[in-house]
């Protein structure tokens, strides 16, 4: 009888532990209709870009060849495979390309844009960002410097219009963005968008 009770308890623990696993967030070209960035907790980025592709003299093959030559040149200069083309396709007259970056520094350098992705826990913020951020819980403004001191948070800063998905729960965001879901923000069309999340 004791063995049966012990086996039942062990089975319940195993089932509950399996149910507690965090589901991995993925994006594919099939899911994308607007520029989208997925910030993984490990620093990796998945970036999908969407461009008009309605001219009959363009082919997806030519686009892929051009993009791969740029990626190969960048990776060669960077000393390793920092960017990978995961997929590309034409859908509804738009070219959708999904790239994977090892980090924000690679994304920023390859695309020649100002952007940042870093861990919280900093005392002196070197980036000139908004003085306040919006608290997800009560929509109240909170001092940015205080938020950045929490080392359990990740901070993503973009200056481009993207749907931003994070690998965790959004805690604070800049007031020019729109909270779509617990892990998704629609960034501002212009200016800096800041997202602070807990992985």
- H helix intervals, 20-159: 60-78, 104-111, 144-148
Identify the CA nearest to 197 among candidates 186, 188, 187, 185. Answer: 185
pLDDT at 58 over 80: no
Identify the CA nearest to 100 among candidates 165, 159, 43. Answer: 43
pLDDT, tens only, 153-198: 999 999 999 999 999 999 999 999 999 999 999 998 788 999 999 9
> Residue 178 to residues 51, 148, 188: CA-CA distances in angstroms?
22, 20, 8
Q: What is the pLDDT of residue 21?
A: 52
pLDDT band per the 50, 70, 90 thresholds, residue 22: low
- H helix intervals, 86-169: 104-111, 144-148
pLDDT at 17 over 70: no
Per the CB < 8 A criterion, the answer to whether 171 and 195 are in contact is no
Q: What is the pLDDT of residue 10?
A: 42
Which pTM was predicted? 0.85
Tokens of 123: 């005392």
pLDDT, tens only, 114-125: 999 999 998 777
Half-sphere exposure of residue 7: CA atoms within 13 angstroms, side-chain side:
4
Q: Which domains does the chain have, with CATH numbers?
A: 24-113 (3.30.70), 114-199 (no CATH)
Per the CB < 8 A criterion, the answer to whether 107 and 101 are in contact is yes
For 73, residues 6+ apart whose C-beta sits below 8 A from its C-beta are: none
pLDDT, tens only, 132-156: 999 999 999 999 999 999 999 999 9
């Amino acid at each position: 009888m004791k063995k049966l009770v012990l086996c039942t308890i062990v089975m319940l623990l195993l089932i509950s532990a399996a149910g507690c696993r965090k589901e991995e967030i993925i994006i594919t070209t099939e899911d994308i209709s607007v520029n989208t960035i997925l910030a993984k907790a490990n620093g990796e980025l998945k970036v999908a870009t969407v461009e008009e592709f309605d001219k009959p003299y363009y082919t997806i093959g030519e686009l892929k060849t051009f993009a791969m030559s740029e990626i190969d040149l960048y990776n060669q200069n960077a000393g390793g495979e920092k960017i990978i083309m995961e997929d590309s396709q034409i859908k509804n007259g738009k070219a959708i390309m999904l790239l994977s970056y090892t980090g924000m520094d690679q994304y920023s350098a390859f695309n020649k844009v100002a952007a940042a992705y870093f861990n919280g826990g900093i005392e002196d913020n070197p980036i000139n960002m908004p003085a306040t951020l919006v608290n997800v819980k009560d929509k109240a403004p909170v001092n940015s410097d205080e938020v950045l001191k929490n080392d359990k948070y990740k901070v993503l800063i973009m200056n481009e219009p993207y749907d931003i998905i994070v690998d965790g729960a959004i805690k604070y965001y800049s007031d020019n963005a729109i909270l779509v879901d617990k892990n998704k923000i629609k960034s501002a069309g212009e200016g800096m968008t800041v997202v602070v999340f807990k992985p």
